[in-house]
Amino acid sequence: MLMIPGPTPVPEKALLELAKHPIGHRSDDFSKIMAEVTQNLKWLHQTQNDVLVLTSSGTGAMEAGIINFLSRGDRVLAGTNGKFGERWVEVAKAYGLEVETITADYGQPLDPEQFREKLEADTEKQIKAVILTHSETSTGVLNDLETINRHVKAHGEALIIVDAVTSLGAYNIPVDEWGLDVVGSGSQKGYMIPPGLGFVSVSAKAWEAYKTANLPRYYLDLGKYKKTADKNSNPFTPPVNLFFALQATLRMMQAEGLENIFARHQRLMNATRAAVKAMGLPLFAADECASPAITAVAPTQVEAEKVRSVMKKQFDIALAGGQDSLKGKIFRIGHLGFVSDRDVLCAIGALEATLQMLNVEGVTSGAGVAAAAEAISQ
Ligand SMILES: *Cc1c(COP(=O)(O)O)cnc(C)c1O
């Protein structure tokens, strides 16, 4: 049972699609699938913008989202409060961009005011883009995209490039209403299919910037993807079976409805957090900035890795550990994508038993499950 923030669980409908024979990617049958998938991706992104599909992980989608719209030496402002925010700084630097960072400690959200100050001070409009990770998976923090984006809009010039890899399909991100220029995501997160596809939505303003952008690009040249997507095709051979699976899960998402999807993730988050609190374990991120996709727990009475190990061995439930400096300090419970109330109740019950098996003091038997049940019933 996968309770990690990607790859996430895959429904049987999608798994069965993966077992089919592939079809030709230049066939009419495949064009029909492309047409439906493209339309449904726009629905999911709440946008009329292009939503392009790459054969890559989420990082490839974000790299494409950065390099297609900027030129060597361009100034960009990047928010970093975890591993993924830091990754986009590395990508930007690798391509010769001049990166200024706004930083917050791990477990803390980025301060929108710092973005406002930097953007307002830039009267010569030299900042070409603001790069932001919405849900920082490494810490379980949800950054305030809406407010930060408002400051970017007030600046007028800079593009906003968003890593929505663990927020798209979990949290309301109205791309058109907010005017988000570039939004990157990946198939193994909220999309409920295995890893292998990256998604990038691109606004008209970003396409304007594309015309003069001069960073090197070939496989990740989004112009190629747009040109072919307009004809329901692809520049290169796509993973045909992942498209079959994506067609199936997008239909499932449409049947559930966006509001219900967001409400479910909110409920799973609330239940998980209430349970963790009731078990006396400290949460790594505050309630005000909690990610709907992932809850990071920073236990003090027991080693995080021991918890993960018993959860895996005894219950066959995979939790994620901490990355780099957070290794051994936190464990992370994913509740993103194809995850139900039942799954969370099960994981919490197993976690409670794990704590008892590890003789963790101060844990009231049943308190976690009771708190989760209470949160779910609200
Ligand atoms: C998973 C993830 C990514 C993409 O990682 P890949 O391994 O390249 O798919 C990017 N950003 C965030 C916040 C993520 O959780």
Tell me the per-residue pLDDT of 260-309, one tens digit each, with 9 for 90 and over.
999 999 999 999 999 999 999 999 999 999 999 999 999 999 999 999 99
| Amino acid identity at 60 | G
DSSP annotation of 291 reads: -
Q: How far apart are CA 332 and CA 353, in angstroms?
A: 17
Cβ neighbours, 10 Å, residue 8: 26
164 lines ligand 1 (CB under 6 A): no
With a cut of 90, say whether residue 115 has pLDDT above it. Answer: yes
Mean pLDDT of the 232-259 span: 98
241 lines ligand 1 (CB under 6 A): no
Measured in residues, the chain has a length of 378
Determine phi and psi for 336, rounding to 5 degrees.
-125, 135
Q: Kindly give the distance from the C-alpha atom of residue 324 to the centroid of ligand 1, in angstroms, as a whole number.
A: 15
Q: Which residue, among 90, 42, 45, 99, has the nearest Cα to 72 in the 3D structure?
A: 99
Q: Kindly give the distance from the C-alpha atom of residue 46 to the centroid of ligand 1, in angstroms, as a whole number.
A: 21
Q: How far apart are CA 41 and CA 315, in angstroms?
A: 36
C-alpha neighbours within 13 Å on the C-beta side of residue 300: 7
Same fold, 11-255 and 258-377: no
Q: Are 70 and 213 in contact (CB under 8 A)?
A: yes
Mean pLDDT of the 347-364 span: 94
Cα–chain center distance at 48: 21
Query: Atom 14 (ligand 1): residue with closest C-alpha?
Result: 165
Q: Which residue, among 163, 170, 192, has the nearest Cα to 82 in the 3D structure?
A: 163
When pLDDT is cut at 50, 70 and 90, the band that residue 72 belongs to is very high
Q: Kindly give the distance from the C-alpha atom of residue 64 to the centroid of ligand 1, in angstroms, as a whole number.
A: 14
When computed from its CA atoms, the radius of gyration of the chain, rounded to whole angstroms, is: 21
Ligand 1 pocket: which of 163, 294, 295 to mutate (most atoms <8 Å of CB)?
Answer: 163
Q: Which residue, among 137, 188, 140, 139, has the nearest Cα to 163 in the 3D structure?
A: 137
With a cut of 90, say whether residue 236 has pLDDT above it. Answer: yes
User: What is the number of the ligand 1 atom nearest to the C-alpha of 189?
Assistant: 1
184 lines ligand 1 (CB under 6 A): no
User: What is the number of the ligand 1 atom nearest to the C-alpha of 135?
Assistant: 13
Give the tokens for residue 153: 């809009």
Which pLDDT score is estimated for 152?
98
Q: How far apart are CA 122 and CA 55, in angstroms?
A: 37
User: What is the number of the ligand 1 atom nearest to the C-alpha of 195?
Assistant: 9
Q: Which residue, among 193, 192, 143, 133, has the nearest Cα to 165 in the 3D structure?
A: 133
Q: How far apart are CA 292 and CA 272, in angstroms?
A: 10
11-255: CATH topology is Aspartate Aminotransferase; domain 2 (3.40.640)
pLDDT in tens, 154-166: 999 999 999 999 9
Per domain, the residue ranges of the chain are 11-255, 258-377
Which pLDDT score is estimated for 16?
98
Q: How far apart are CA 144 and CA 268, in angstroms?
A: 20
Which pLDDT score is estimated for 367?
96
Which pLDDT score is estimated for 207?
98
With a cut of 90, say whether residue 6 has pLDDT above it. Answer: yes
With a cut of 90, say whether residue 378 has pLDDT above it. Answer: no
Q: How far apart are CA 232 and CA 229, in angstroms?
A: 5
What is the share, in percent, of the chain residues with pLDDT greater than 90?
98
Q: How far apart are CA 68 and CA 212, in angstroms?
A: 9
Mean pLDDT of the 169-191 span: 98
Q: Kindly give the distance from the C-alpha atom of residue 326 to the centroid of ligand 1, in angstroms, as a whole number.
A: 17
Please tell me the pTM assigned to this model.
0.97
What does pLDDT average to over the chain? 97
| Amino acid identity at 133 | T
With a cut of 90, say whether residue 363 has pLDDT above it. Answer: no
6 lines ligand 1 (CB under 6 A): yes
Q: Kindly give the distance from the C-alpha atom of residue 131 to the centroid of ligand 1, in angstroms, as a whole number.
A: 14
Q: How far apart are CA 339 and CA 335, in angstroms?
A: 6
With a cut of 90, say whether residue 361 has pLDDT above it. Answer: no
Strand partners, 205: none
CATH of 258-377, one of 3.90.1150.10, 3.30.300.180, 3.40.50.300, 3.40.140.10: 3.90.1150.10
Q: Kindly give the distance from the C-alpha atom of residue 76 to the centroid of ligand 1, in angstroms, as a whole number.
A: 20
Q: Are 199 and 186 in contact (CB under 8 A)?
A: yes
